[in-house]
Amino acid sequence: MGHDVGRSSGHLGSGSRCIALVGPFQSGKTTLLEAILARTGAVARAGSVEAGTSVGDAGAEARLHKMGVGLNAVTTTFMGDSYTFLDCPGSIEFAHDMRAVLPVVDAAVVVCEADERKLPQLQVILRELEDLRIPRFLFLNKIDKATKRIREALAALQPASRAPLVLRQIPIWNGELIAGFVDLALERAFVYREHAASEMIALDGGDRDREQEARFTMLEYLADHDDALMEQLLDDIPPPRDAIFDDLARELREGLICPVLLGSAARQNGVGRLLKALRHEAPGVAATLARLGAAGDGAALAHVVKTTHLQHGGKLSLARVLRGHIDDGATVQSSGGASGRVSGILAANGASDSKRATAEAGDVVALGKLDAVRTGETLTTAKTAPAALVSVEPAAAVLAIALAAADRKDDVKLGQALQRLAEEDPSLTVRHNSDSHEVVLWGQGEMHLRVALERLRARYGVNAESRAPGVGYRETIRKSATQRGRHKKQSGGHGQYGDVVLDIAPLPRGEGFRFEETVVGGAVPKNYIGAVEEGVKDALSRGPLGFPVVDLQVTLTDGSYHSVDSSDQAFRTAARVGVAEALPQCAPVLLEPIHLVEIVCPSDATAKVNAILSGRRGQILGFDTREGWDGWDCVRASMPEAEIGDLIVELRSATAGAGGFTRAFDHMAEVTGRAADQIVAAHRAAA
């Protein structure tokens, strides 16, 4: 694994270290995990994402799409220390799994490549880490395919990070290929060996000169936060190596720098040096607990980062133990108010989980049968429920599909399966639309919803048909009318008799529905007026154009009754008949919902975003720089709901996968002419 510095004092903290592997989509995170497992002896040979043999991304959907669609946790050992690596999905559509675990990790390795097209995704990920104060390394991957000098690549990536990207290594070139690296802290040179540990070589000639210059630059960054080191540099006094490593560790923990390491995960180059850096510089669980604001002593504390429902094994709650220990069979309380008895503890070993009797501080384990516990809750073995250490809200949903079981007898099964999917992935939301009678699944994008449908079939045996959800069209009236509604029926015994006179008039937009009565002389007895209002509402649920009717007032002015044959039902029917006959005379007009949309995007994509909005009947209200985000804009627009449906697909394409938006209903607007005719015709055809 290269040459060890032998600095046992650099081994920080006790307990298993928890490291998140994060980075833009297809940056090589899972390949790096495979290389780490091979280098630490956890697997005999590194698996391949392409071949479907990787320990990470082992789920059926990940294998199918050859991409991370969920969190993978794998534990291994390096030089006697235990490490759990959390391989997080790179796609923004599955980012909730990353966001749910980041608060409780000790450090993150940001895997990226020298590709400026992925800069927006990198900035989103780094911003998340910065806001949470997570210590982070940047692993510049695929350097065997680098087309530009490392310093040029670093300069291009720097805008994504608020902390300086500090180069820890410089490459050794063999012509146009990178053959090895010089460790600037150790001042030692290594050449790569494919799928093997690097070999130390003499540092001399031009590489020595380049090392001296690059090392001084690294020390200058460190000296910005170390006055003693600054004085040594000014006086040309070589600083002690141990002091340099101490500075690297301290400034990493405090988020003052983001150290940059080089490598090629596919060739297992640079992996040993990354592991050494994690061992000597990444903090342990005690520092993470302190960052979360909890004391180091007391009853056991753990935080649930992921929920999984197994087909036959019940529910598993993946949790990181932050303090104390949790034994199999222990009773735990959750910050959500639930309690339960742990039934089984499984170590996180990728696809081959193994049982354990206890979990210690630092461990990441799956706790069995905590049915009432949810993702994001904090657990304790104390007698009273703990305060939640972390609160992670899912991103606003941006795409929806309406679902129906292909076989009607599976309706109940579909509902139960959707509930479990949403529990496993809180960034999925299930809503029941009472107007359209649709079950609507909301998610973070096209692939996110596609994977949800695949899981419905594969895991729960439910085939669901999907389509675009209905738009919340309404209709209103432009004219007033007066109409008598009468219901009279005689068929032996008591008959049915109800008679009402209704004035119908339009109201200003957004006023909804108003019912009044001005009956005099008891023409309609008071006890039937409530039934009249219900009958009016019945008629307004579907107007002449086929949609609910809004923004009108109906006034009951007169009528008549029969002492024997009148009833609530008779007057309800009479009112429904009267309104239904009156509405076509009132110049009905179609209304469509208009939303206020706020889009965040990289500034170089703003012109494309404006064109997308204009092409979707959007009215751009203005834009500004995104507060606190260099190189990003925030565009505000007013847009018909019908045009927002698949907006995210086009938006992500225009923003290198990093753009997003939020929406909020604003008002209803009239739709007339051919557009209205097409909407009404389509609605009638689908009815």
Write the DSSP assignment of 60-82 as a string of letters: HHHHHHTS--S-EEEEEEETTEE
Q: Which of 350, 380, 410 is the last residue of a domain?
A: 380
Asked whether residue 269 falls in the same domain as residue 347, the answer is no
Asked whether residue 430 falls in the same domain as residue 502, the answer is no
Asked whether residue 204 falls in the same domain as residue 338, the answer is no
Strand segments, DSSP code E, in 98-205 are 107-112, 136-140, 165-167, 169-174, 177-183, 188-193, 196-201
* pTM for this model (two decimals): 0.91
Does residue 643 lie in a domain region? yes
Does residue 234 lie in a domain region? yes
Report the distance separating Cα 486 and Cα 582, nearest Å. Answer: 13
Output the pLDDT for position 5: 30
Report the distance separating Cα 636 and Cα 663, nearest Å. Answer: 10
Residue of 169, 199, 205, 163 whose CA lies nearest to 187:
169
pLDDT digits (tens, 9 = 90+) for 170-209: 999 888 888 999 999 999 999 999 888 899 999 887 888 8
Q: Which of 223, 256, 289 is the last residue of a domain?
A: 289
Does residue 484 lie in a domain region? yes
Asked whether residue 573 falls in the same domain as residue 596, the answer is no
Output the pLDDT for position 97: 95
Does residue 385 lie in a domain region? no
Point out which residues pair with 506 in neighbouring strands. Answer: 552
Q: What is the CATH number of the domain that holds 367?
A: 2.40.30.10
Report the distance separating Cα 649 and Cα 93, nearest Å. Answer: 11
Asked whether residue 216 falls in the same domain as residue 280, the answer is yes
Report the distance separating Cα 332 and Cα 553, nearest Å. Answer: 57
**Total domains present in the chain:** 5
Output the pLDDT for position 6: 31
Which of the 8 DSSP states describes residue 14? S
Which letter, b or e, does each residue of 519-528 get, where b requires 16 or more Cβ atoms within 10 Å of its Cβ? beeeebeeeb
Q: Which domain holds residue 520?
A: 475-586
Q: What angle do CA 453, 456, 460 make, to 5 degrees?
A: 170
Does residue 545 lie in a domain region? yes
Asked whether residue 180 falls in the same domain as residue 203, the answer is yes
Asked whether residue 138 falls in the same domain as residue 212, the answer is yes
Output the pLDDT for position 617: 96
pLDDT along the chain (687 residues), means of 10: 32 76 95 95 85 79 86 94 96 95 98 92 96 98 87 93 96 88 94 90 86 95 96 94 95 97 95 96 96 92 94 88 96 96 88 81 95 96 94 94 93 94 96 90 97 94 94 97 94 85 97 96 95 98 96 97 93 98 98 98 96 96 93 97 96 95 97 94 88
Does residue 432 lie in a domain region? yes
Report the distance separating Cα 661 and Cα 8, nearest Å. Answer: 49
Asked whether residue 513 falls in the same domain as residue 556, the answer is yes
Does residue 411 lie in a domain region? yes
Q: What is the CATH number of the domain that holds 636?
A: 3.30.70.240
Residue of 560, 561, 569 whose CA lies nearest to 531:
569
Report the distance separating Cα 368 and Cα 385, nearest Å. Answer: 19
Q: What is the CATH number of the domain that holds 575?
A: 3.30.230.10
Asked whether residue 165 falls in the same domain as residue 250, the answer is yes
Q: Which of 467, 501, 523 is the last residue of a domain?
A: 467
Asked whether residue 60 falls in the same domain as residue 134, the answer is yes
Output the pLDDT for position 349: 75
Asked whether residue 306 falls in the same domain as residue 351, the answer is yes
Q: How far is CA 250 from the centre of its chain?
A: 31
Asked whether residue 60 falls in the same domain as residue 162, the answer is yes
Output the pLDDT for position 2: 34
Does residue 393 lie in a domain region? no
* Residue 568 near residue 496, CB atoms below 8 Å: no
* Strand 345-347 to 354-356 pairing: antiparallel
